[in-house]
Structures are given as C-alpha cells and as structure tokens.
Chains A and B, each alone.
Chain A
Amino acid sequence: MTALLSIQQLSVKLQDKEVLSSLDLTLNAGDILGLVGASGCGKTTLLNAIAGFSKPSTGQIVIDGKVLSDKQHYVPAENRQVGMIFQDYALFPHLTVKENIAFGIAQLTQTEQQQQIDSLLTILKLNDYQNSYIHQLSGGQQQRVAIARALAPKPKLLLLDEPFSNIDARLRNELMVEIRQLLKQFDMTAIFVTHNKDEVFTFADKMAVMAQGKLLQFDTPSIICQAPNSYQVADFLQLGSWLPCNVDENGAQSLLGNLDISAEHGTQFSKVHLLVKPSQLILNTLVDENSDTNTNTNTKPNAQVDYISVTEQGYHYSLSNIDSPSTDQSLAFSKLSLYSDIALSLKQHVQLSIIPHNFLYFTNRGV
C-alpha cells in the first residue's frame, strides 16, 4: 500500500485561534477514513485545509507525491484534484442533474463528457432524472447527484462533510453500505467527517479521533474499539462505563470488589479509572433488601438501579453505588451500563461483579 495522502505538522489558525495544531496523518490509497470528534474539534477545518479552503499556518500536505501546501507551495483548491461532498450537497439550483454532473468536466470533449455522465447516471441509478432540477429530487437522490458530480472529474481524494446527517435514520445504514460499495468500486480514497461513531464503524476502514485540534488516535475501528489509547478516546466513543479503583501492591479495590490490577514496580499511580463494558459485568442472584445485614461480601448488594430503558434485546440499566456512611466517596461510581433480560425495578439493590479480563484502565481523565 502506498500513502496517497500525507500530512505533516499541520497547523491552521482561524481568527488568531489555533484550530489545528501540529497534526500528522497518513492515508493509504483506497482507504476510507472516518474522522470523528466533538463539534469544534477541528475536523471540518482539516477537511477545508486539505481541500484548499483554508490556508495552513505551518505544515505540509502532500497528495499522490504532489506537494499541495507547505512553506513554498500553495495550490489553489481548483487545481488540487480533491473532490468534496458538502453537508448540504451544494448542488447548483439553476442547473439540471446532468449539467451539475458535467460541471467539473467541461475540459473533456462532448463525447467523453457524455460517456462519463452516462456511466455515472447508470451506476447511481439517476437515469430517469438527468433532466430534472435539483428541487425536484428527494434527499437521497440529491445525495447521489452530489456523489456523481464529485466523482465525475476523477478526484484523487474525496472529502465528505457529514454526508449522512441529513438522511432519515431508517435509511441511513442502507445508504452508507451502498455508498461504501460505490467508493470501493471506484477504488476511491476518501475522508469523511462525522460526530457519530456508529457511522465510522459501518463506513470506514480507518478511524481517526480528534479533540482540540489534535489527533488522539488513528487506527482501524476495531483496534480503537478494543484498545483505545486514552481516557478521552474511550469516553468520546462511549466504549463502556467508568469504575474508579484504588491501586496498591496488593491489587485494586473498587466498590464492586477487588480486581487483579497491581501497581507495577516504580509506578506512581494510586488511582485509576477502569473501563467496564456491559459484557464484562455479571448480575448475580437477586438479593433481598433484608440481606443487607448479611456479612458475606459475595452476596452483599453493591449497586442500585437508577434508570431503566427498554431495548430490542431486553433491558438497559444505568446503575450507581449504594450510598452508606462507610462508603469511600473517591470510589463512588454512576451511570454504569448493564444489559439484561431480567426485569429489575427502579432503586432496586443488586449485586454486580466483573468478569476477570485484560483490564483496560487510565490514570488520567483530562488532557
């Protein structure tokens, strides 16, 4: 695999505020990258910098061996061979579907244009609408026109700015699969921006998580899911719930029992946040309220139900610790997610335990 896009030390300032700072990114030809991050994290600015709509203050952007932007060079947007699909599609309202698609290929001969248009119309199932105006089309059809128009000049890289945010939730998945197949069919390298991680899991080969102008993690979606490299990544992607633990040489104490995590030789940490996925939690036998006096810690309740929602698979519970005067407040937890088909009631006390596994924990919450 060769790198199609290479970005090094890229910084962008907008109104004197650094929106991107020293960002590095490499993308292989044919890969689809999903760029996620909270709004304002700089992902749209990154797209704009690649497309040539905002000028970096430092750094380099190279596509297919050609330097598009660095200290000496600044290739204007129209000469970059970078296509873009806009959030609102930006279709030209005064042109027909066919004229929209032909817009970027005016330098070709009439016959070549026609061939190109015909093949795109067929692939995108727009044959019946080629002479329609944009306002006569449905949202999904408009998006297909936007894709056809962007693909017509055969860009080296395609950028998609929140491409699915205007699509009905019910159709979204189907459409994502369809467009992914299409991009693969054209062997297109693409970057798409979203704030919805599920779109990345469905649509992308690679995933990049951004926060505050920096790239936090860049890998395949499955690796990021299994091994997030920071509290922020795991928290933003909502990979599980957080359980605070105190750690010493003997192991880790939590309000859900002791865990097999020990402070390694020389490490300073005494407190960690353990990532707990719903599948790693066991709901033990229901405990009667009166058994609170039971001295056996294995059956003593350690959590209470705060919120219940119904899902296709059963119930989703949000739990927190049971407050008592003896509780160590630094270990208190809340919003622990649990899926179960057993019906519990609100405020009910239960006993939870954690399946021993390769524990994933972070010492630091913030940046």
Chain B
Amino acid sequence: MIALHNSKTWTYSSYLIALVLMVPVLVMLVGGISASTQLFAHLWQTVLPTYLENTVILAFLVVLLSLIFGVLSAAIITQTDIVFKKQLRWLLLLPLAMPAYLVAYLYTDLFDYAGPVQRSLRTWFGWQSPNDYWFFDIRTLPGAALMLALVLFPYIYMLTRGAFEQQDQNLIRASRLLGLTAKQSFFKVALPLARPAIAVAASLVLMETLADFATVQYFSVHTLTTAIYDTWLGYGDLGAANALASVLMLLVLFVVLAEQRSRAGLRHQSARPNLQRELIKLSSSQQVMASFFCWALVIFGFLLPLALLIVMAVEYSNVAQLSVLISTGINSLKISVIAATVAVLIALSLGLYQRLHSDKYRQLPQQISGFGYAIPGTVLAMAMLSTLGPIDHWLNGVAEFLGFAAPGLILSGSLFAIIFALVVRFSAIANGTIISGIKQIPQSLDYAPASLGVNLTGSLTKVHLPILTPTIVVAWLLVFVEAMKELPAVLLLRPFNFETLSSQIYQLISDEMLEQGALGAILIVLFGLLPIVLLNKSKEEV
C-alpha cells in the first residue's frame, strides 16, 4: 500500500491522542505495581485470594453458560427448520439491551423467599418454612453467573450465527458429497470452522464479566470489582484500590492476549456465503425442545424483565419521579453526547491517519487507543483518580503560589474525569466502526482527488467525510448508548450530588426501591435496543 501524506503535525497529534488516552492506565499500573509489597502481602493474606477465586469462578461459569446458550441457539437458528425462525433470529439479540443488574434485581424480587413465586408455592403446597422445601437460591455466585449469562449470551449467539451464515456453503456441500449427513457435516465442518468466531465472542463475554460491578455487588458476591469499589469508597485507601485494580487489569490483559493468540492465523472467510443452505429437519419432539430453549432465552433474558419493569412503572410512577427522571436524564445525555462526540472525532482522526499517512507505524495510535475497551470501568475510574488527583493538587499549589484562590478538584472532581473515562473506555467501539467504514472506501478513491489536483483537506471534506457520514452516525450512536449505560466508572467518578440515569437506578436498586426508578430503567433498556437494531440491520444488509 502506498500512503499519501506525510504531515508531521498529524503524526505528533495522533500519537499524542493515543498517549493521553493510555496515560491514566499506565499511571495506575505503575502505582499498583510499585505499591508497597507490604500492602500486597497484607491483601494476599486477607481478602485477595477470595476475591480472585470468586472472580475466576464467576468468569468461568458465565462463559460456560453463555456458550451453551449462545452456540446452541445460533446452531438452531441457522441449521434447522425451527418455527418462528425469522422472529427468533432477532429476538435472541434483545437480552443484550438488558443490564444484568436489572435482571438480577427483578428476579431476586420474583424468586426470593418473600417473592411471589415462593409465596404461591408455599400457599399451594402448605409449606411452612424454608426447611420444608428446596428452592434455587438466586443471591449466590452461580445465581450471579446465571444473571450475567442471560444477558451476555447474545454476544456469542450473534458472532456464532454470523460465522455459520458466512461459511462457504461449498464446503458444506463438499462434505455432503463425501457422504456426511446434514447433522454430521454440522459437527465435522460447520462447528470447527466457527471456532475462531466463538473464541472471540467468548472473550468478549469474559471481559464484560470481569467488568461487571453492579450485579455482583447487589448479590454480595465479593469479586475484584466490588473490592476495588469498597476499598476506595469504604476505606478511602487509594493505594490498595489501585493494587486491586492492577490485578484485575492484568487478568483482563491476559484475556486480551489469549484472544489475540487464538485468532492469529485463523481466518475462514467465505467467497460464496449466499448459496442456499440445506436445513436439518427437526422431528416434532425436537421442534418442541428447540422452541422451548430459544423462547426461554428470549423470555427470561428480555421479555419477562421488561414486562416486570412496565408493571412497576404503571403501578408506581408519579410526577415527582418524572422530574427526577428528567434531571438525571439530562445529566446522562450531557455526558454521553460529549463522550460520543469526542470519541468519534478521535476515531476519525486516528482512522484516517492510519489510512492516509505514510508513517510506517500508522496503525499504532489507533491500536493503542482501542485498548481501553478491555479496561473495566472500576479500573478506569481508579486510573482517573490516581492520575487526575495529583494533577489537581499540583494545579492548586500553582494557583496558591501565584496568589489566586485554589480552584479545587477541577479535573478529578468534575465531569471532565467521567467524560475522559468514557472516551477511553468506548474509543474502541468508535474506532472499530469508523475503521470498517473506511475499509469500505476503495483505495483508488484516496488517489483520485490528488490526480484531479485536490489536496488533503479537499479530499477529506469532499470525499472521505461525506462517504463516511452514515458510519459516523452509527459510531456516534453506539458510543452514546454505551455511555448512557455505563455504571461503575460514573459511580466512582461523579461529582457530589451528580446523578445519571444509571447511577440513580443503581442507588434505587441498592435501597431495594427500583419501583421509584422503573421508568428510568425502561429508558435505559430502550436506549440499549438502539445498537441492537443498528447491528441487526447492518448484518441483514451483508
């Protein structure tokens, strides 16, 4: 590939942007690693082994359950003649819009000892106390894993389904001609070919699980994320919180590296995906079982929680709540709009740099800036605090030295920190979307403007940006929605008395009063549906 431009300013600013995005995490890692060995020893002797163990078991269970849910449903949808296939195909994506902590709260409400299900059972069967019967205890580690898997499995479903649908049908046809039945060729050809996609999806689920805070906190399952939160907000021990965040960060790093290794060299792309595929015919009993499985996922992962929220909203909504909803909603909008705009501008700048600049390592800034997505919100929040805090102190010192009034925590105690954290965390989403949009532009369109006497600015404003407009809109929306939903980073970094939709709902959940915020919760779910609709639409167009 021949690159076109060699502006030094562009190079410096690209690397600077990437660096700035990464600095807080580096500071935190350095702080965490250089934290006194005494501190680590203390943590290791007390709580760290339990936290680590819980985190690892939780991650394992969530991935296992998500694989069962996701791969099986993807196989059923793409390989069999299940009824209502067209509807289930997109319905199975919807649980992705449901935050795990909402599901956790609603199901606890429903299935707890005092909940309507157990109450009715007791009434019907005349049981007197918990000793009379056994019931699944939801507020446990396996319970948390199930809640998370219920809303995270669509990642696996989506990517695996995509892999099955993109597979070269001639490979399947060849295996059939070599004597395999439809079922055999699924297990011997289609499934092995889909392995890289499944591995990628599983690592996404893993990262989301490691990042989860609210679900485990609500269930009182002590993992690394809850430990970071408690250590900082409960004991005010920044050093220990940093150390825990660094451990979690290393865990995530391990997942990222493992994922990249598993992906290396594994590319099964297809040239003829659109050939008619032959479907496995289900017997009527199989048809019932498959339908039961898929509909159960849709109902428990999305429809039932949404219905419960709607019932709550109808029963408990009032004007006072509406005004709270509006004020928190405006706060959420404010930070999400700014974060989305900044993230998209950065993604555009770095993406076009990668495409058009002659720098040998032109993809580097974009790669560095995309790494933030793997960083859990709690870790990121600690990183912000440990970086911006000292800067604030220094600024105050300088101001006082110069005879001005101390400005206070203008960086770490303001929206700046939240927005910074959101941009770091969601830059990868904007990057990914923008890069794939840029890849759609044929290389020759980079050269055509110059051959017509038009310079870089003209080429960007008249060719690249107009062609990218739809992509830019999608990237903006995706980041916007993620920012609206983000909880842990906001919770740890928000200024005093600043509530967003998600932090407000989390508070209500902690106080067992979600009824007061049901409308806001519905709003979050609706926002969450937006990227699913977008993603599904772009998948349909392929």
**A-side interface residues toward B, CB under 8 Å?**
14, 48, 51-54, 76-79, 81-84, 86-94, 103-104, 106, 149-150, 152-153, 159
> Can you list 6 A-B pairs, Cβ within 8 angstroms, ordered by A?
A48-B2, A53-B447, A76-B455, A83-B452, A84-B447, A104-B452
Given known A104-B452, A149-B452, contact A90–B445 (CB-CB < 8 A): yes
CB pair B455 A90 closer than 8 Å: no
- By Cβ-Cβ distance, the 8 closest A-B pairs, closest first, are A104-B452, A90-B444, A77-B450, A84-B451, A86-B444, A90-B448, A78-B450, A54-B2
**Within 8 Å of chain A (Cβ to Cβ): is B273?**
no
Contacting residue for B453 out of A79, A91, A94, CB 8 A: A79
CB pair A87 B449 closer than 8 Å: no
CB pair B452 A150 closer than 8 Å: yes
CB neighbours (8 Å) of A77 from chain B are 4, 447, 450-451
Contacting residue for B444 out of A52, A54, A87, CB 8 A: A87
CB pair A104 B454 closer than 8 Å: yes
Contacting residue for A81 out of B445, B448, B453, B466, CB 8 A: B453
CB pair A78 B449 closer than 8 Å: yes
Q: Give the distance to chain B from A66, nearest Cβ to Cβ, in Å.
A: 14
Q: Which residue of chain B has the shortest Cβ distance to A49 in the bound complex?
A: B2
CB neighbours (8 Å) of B467 from chain A are 92-94
CB within 8 Å of A: which B429-456 residues: 442, 444-445, 447-455
CB neighbours (8 Å) of A87 from chain B are 444
Contacting residue for B442 out of A82, A90, A103, A159, CB 8 A: A90
Q: Give the distance to chain B from A310, nearest Cβ to Cβ, in Å.
A: 33
**Within 8 Å of chain A (Cβ to Cβ): is B106?**
no
CB pair A92 B454 closer than 8 Å: no
Bound form: Cα–Cα A87–B447 in Å: 12
Given known A90-B442, A92-B463, contact A78–B447 (CB-CB < 8 A): no
Q: State which size class the interface on B falls in.
A: 10 to 19
Bound form: Cα–Cα A88–B462 in Å: 20
Q: Which residue of chain B has the shortest Cβ distance to A103 in the bound complex?
A: B452
Given A77-B451, A83-B451, A90-B444, output 17 extra A-B contacts at Cβ < 8 Å. Answer: A51-B447, A53-B4, A76-B450, A77-B450, A78-B454, A79-B453, A82-B451, A83-B452, A86-B444, A88-B442, A90-B442, A90-B447, A92-B463, A103-B462, A104-B453, A153-B452, A159-B451
CB neighbours (8 Å) of A90 from chain B are 442, 444-445, 447-448
Bound form: Cα–Cα A144–B452 in Å: 16
Given known A78-B455, A93-B467, A103-B462, contact A53–B445 (CB-CB < 8 A): no
Q: Which residue of chain A has the shortest Cβ distance to B469 in the bound complex?
A: A94
Bound form: Cα–Cα A93–B437 in Å: 14
Q: Give the distance to chain B from A7, nearest Cβ to Cβ, in Å.
A: 18
CB pair B2 A53 closer than 8 Å: yes
Interface string of B121-149 (1 = CB under 8 A from A): 00000000000000000000000000000
CB neighbours (8 Å) of A153 from chain B are 452-453
CB pair A103 B444 closer than 8 Å: no
CB neighbours (8 Å) of B454 from chain A are 78, 103-104, 106
Bound form: Cα–Cα A51–B448 in Å: 10
CB pair B450 A53 closer than 8 Å: yes
Bound form: Cα–Cα A131–B449 in Å: 20
CB neighbours (8 Å) of A104 from chain B are 452-454
Q: Give the distance to chain A from B251, nearest Cβ to Cβ, in Å.
A: 38
Bound form: Cα–Cα A106–B459 in Å: 12
CB pair B448 A86 closer than 8 Å: yes
Bound form: Cα–Cα A54–B449 in Å: 15
CB neighbours (8 Å) of B4 from chain A are 53, 77
- Pick the most buried of B442, B449, B450, B452: most chain A CB atoms within 10 A of its CB: B452
CB pair A92 B445 closer than 8 Å: yes
- Pick the most buried of A48, A52, A90: most chain B CB atoms within 10 A of its CB: A90
CB neighbours (8 Å) of A76 from chain B are 450, 455
Interface string of B1-19 (1 = CB under 8 A from A): 0101000000000000000
